[in-house]
């Protein structure tokens, strides 16, 4: 390779990232118009297209580099010089941290995820001391109650960029003040002030005002989800002021926010104060920078591994028929490998399973499906693998592992947030906790269905419980769209003997689902059955599912709330005269 080509390649990669992030911001900037026009199908399409942008632009850069190098292979020294030039371009670059991840992606595409070493990639940042630079304008604006909270909130809501009229701004302000008074106390309120992000956070059918509430005792989140009625009028649906509530809003089971962030590192740092339980990876994920979130997640994994003497073990729970799942005992994530061979009743391919996981990545997860990160050629030190797990890997996934002596390389795996399997949780809880779990489980199924997702296998073992007590689905190999399922009633038996026969007396075609059959395994446990019947008996009726299908086919997009229905102002303080749908 001629000398001097290294700088051209480094510049080409950085220019490619500029193009990608420019398109990312362009798609994001359309969120306000989509919200104001209630163009919910475009909201869903924009979410998918923004996810695809990254890989598309990586592919464009790879093709450019192949033209520049005339398709010739490059040696290790040449690549090291490219990285050195690239690193020199970053000190004054505003999005250096994501630019490093983009470099990694281009490298992995060029070399099929081989030779992934710190010398060739930005495994760790080249500028760890520089999380973000001085920014040209403030990220947020401060509001003080010099003349009381009513004029303060009036200024906040009036300063919003939304161009729709308010249904009843004064009413919403009264509700917010009532909530703050109940939460903080009337005496504390005059000594508090609010800092509000300049940009709204859009997701699903809501525009979120995200702020910080500074009190005498510390800083709290200040979140206002703003919705619009069918008539095009704005209203505040609730006010959230606890870190637990904010954590759920920014949770790993939700779609990424559309928030205009030309300096994402600065926004992540600003959010960190009200989301102290979130890692850097989770915060980048929440604002849509999912590929850089993957980089940060891998760094968090490496840091944990360096400080731990734990061994990888098989994950607790019932062993899956499609995935082999393992973890580190104290780590908050699990590693999932598609098995080489599936159980006989699983008539599917590995390609089908990967397609299901990609569907979940792109679809609205409505707070009920865990996000995943996909890795190739994942290296593990054999000394850190429990012998029982090592034997299981050799038994279940021999075609996906390569033995390198002291290490093994796993060709492909997913990393996902670790949760307590619901079947284990249900064995451990009683009373109100049991009731809450069954309510959550049924609500998860309902909300998935309303979002056009049928889980397929709804056994308790395929759901997990988060640290906030939410039930989340995480087994995707049988997932499909609701509109692809044929929900049927079981025909009446012809003779009494039919119900005792080992085979059904009616025909069953692929895609047929009989909701009445859910009762056989859902209600088998006497602790669980009566609770489920009380709260979710309609899930046993085929007409319930068919009615949902009709709404989906007619183009309805259901409202999805990142909080309990009882927290809505319309429930707490009185009806909001809105015809907006509820879920």
Provide, for the chain, the percentages of residues in helix, strand and coil under a 3-state DSSP scheme, each rounded to the nearest 5: 45, 15, 40
Pairing mode, strands 313-314 and 201-203: unpaired
30 belongs to an annotated ligand binding site: no
- How many CA within 13 A on the CB side of residue 233? 11
Element at 96 (helix H, strand E):
helix 96-110
Q: Please tell me whether 367 is known to bind a ligand.
A: no
Q: Which residue in the block uniquely carries the two structure tokens 């509700």?
A: 175
* Strand pairing category for 486-487 and 512-513: parallel
Task: Find out whether 321 is annotated in a ligand binding site.
Answer: yes
Is the CB of residue 241 less than 8 Å from the CB of residue 460?
A: no
Write the DSSP symbol of residue 38: T
Classify residue 221 as exposed, middle or buried by CB count within 10 Å of its CB (0-12, 13-18, 19+).
buried
Q: 319: annotated binding-site residue?
A: yes
- Alpha carbons 19 and 24: distance in angstroms, whole number: 9
Is 316 labelled a binding residue? yes
Q: What is the DSSP letter of 312?
A: B
**25 vs 287: CA distance, rounded Å:** 11
CB neighbour list of residue 114: distance below 8 Å, 6 or more residues apart: 377
DSSP, collapsed to helix, strand or coil, labels residue 512 as strand
Cβ within 8 Å of residue 503, ≥6 positions away: none
Q: Residue-wise over 337-350: b if at least 16 C-beta within 10 A, else e?
A: bbbeebeeebeeeb
- List, by residue number, the catalytic residues: 371
**According to the annotation, is 318 in a ligand binding site?**
yes
**Which residues are annotated as part of the binding site?**
315-321, 336
**Which residues are annotated as part of the binding site for ATP?**
315-321, 336
């Amino acid at each position: 390779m001629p000398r001097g080509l290294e700088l051209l390649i480094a510049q080409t990669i950085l220019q490619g990232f500029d193009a990608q992030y420019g398109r990312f911001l362009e798609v994001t900037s359309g969120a306000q118009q989509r919200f104001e026009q209630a163009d919910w199908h475009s909201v869903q399409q924009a979410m998918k297209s923004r996810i695809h942008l990254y890989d598309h632009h990586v592919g464009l850069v790879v093709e450019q580099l192949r033209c520049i190098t005339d398709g010739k292979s490059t040696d290790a020294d040449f690549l090291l010089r490219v990285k050195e030039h690239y690193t020199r371009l970053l000190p004054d670059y505003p999005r250096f941290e994501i630019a490093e991840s983009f470099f990694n992606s281009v490298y992995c595409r060029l070399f099929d995820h081989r030779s992934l070493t710190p010398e060739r990639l930005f495994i760790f940042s080249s500028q760890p001391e520089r999380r973000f630079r001085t920014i040209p304008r403030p990220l947020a604006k401060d509001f003080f109650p010099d003349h009381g909270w009513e004029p303060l909130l009036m200024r906040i809501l009036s300063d919003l960029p939304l161009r729709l009229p308010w249904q009843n701004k004064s009413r919403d302000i009264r509700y917010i003040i009532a909530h703050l008074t109940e939460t903080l106390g009337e005496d504390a309120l005059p000594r508090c002030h609010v800092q509000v992000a300049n940009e709204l956070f859009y997701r699903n059918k809501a525009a979120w005002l995200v702020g910080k509430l500074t009190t005498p005792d510390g800083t709290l989140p200040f979140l206002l989800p703003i919705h619009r009625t069918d008539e095009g009028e704005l209203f505040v649906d609730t006010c959230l002021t606890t870190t637990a509530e904010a954590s759920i809003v920014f949770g790993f089971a939700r779609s990424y926010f559309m928030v205009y962030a030309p300096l994402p590192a600065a926004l992540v740092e600003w959010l960190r104060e009200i989301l102290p339980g979130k890692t850097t990876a989770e915060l980048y994920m929440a604002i849509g920078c999912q590929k850089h979130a993957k980089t940060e997640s891998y760094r968090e994994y490496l840091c944990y591994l360096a400080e731990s003497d734990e061994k990888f073990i098989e994950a607790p729970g019932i062993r899956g028929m499609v995935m082999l799942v393992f973890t580190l005992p104290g780590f908050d994530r699990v590693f999932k490998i598609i098995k080489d061979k599936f159980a006989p009743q699983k008539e599917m391919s590995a390609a089908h399973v990967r397609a299901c996981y990609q569907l979940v990545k792109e679809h609205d997860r409505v707070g009920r499906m865990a996000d995943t990160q996909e890795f190739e050629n994942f290296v593990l030190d054999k000394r850190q693998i429990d012998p029982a797990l090592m034997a299981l890997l050799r038994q279940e996934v021999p075609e996906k592992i390569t033995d390198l002596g002291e290490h093994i390389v796993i060709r492909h795996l997913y990393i996902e947030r670790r949760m307590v399997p619901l079947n284990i949780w249900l064995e451990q809880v009683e009373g109100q906790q049991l009731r809450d779990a069954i309510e959550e489980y049924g609500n998860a199924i309902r909300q998935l269905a309303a979002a056009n997702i049928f889980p397929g296998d709804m056994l308790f073992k395929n759901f997990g419980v988060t640290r906030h007590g939410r039930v989340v689905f995480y087994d995707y190999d049988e997932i499909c769209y609701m509109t692809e399922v044929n929900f049927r009633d079981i025909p009446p038996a012809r003779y009494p003997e039919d119900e005792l026969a080992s085979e059904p007396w009616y025909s069953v075609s692929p895609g047929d689902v009989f909701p009445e059959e859910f009762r056989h395994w859902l209600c088998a446990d006497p602790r669980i059955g009566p609770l489920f019947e009380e709260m979710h008996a309609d899930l046993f009726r085929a007409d319930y599912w068919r009615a949902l299908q009709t709404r989906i086919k007619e183009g309805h997009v259901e409202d999805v709330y990142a909080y309990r229905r009882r927290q809505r102002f319309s429930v707490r303080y009185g009806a909001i005269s809105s015809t907006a749908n509820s879920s």
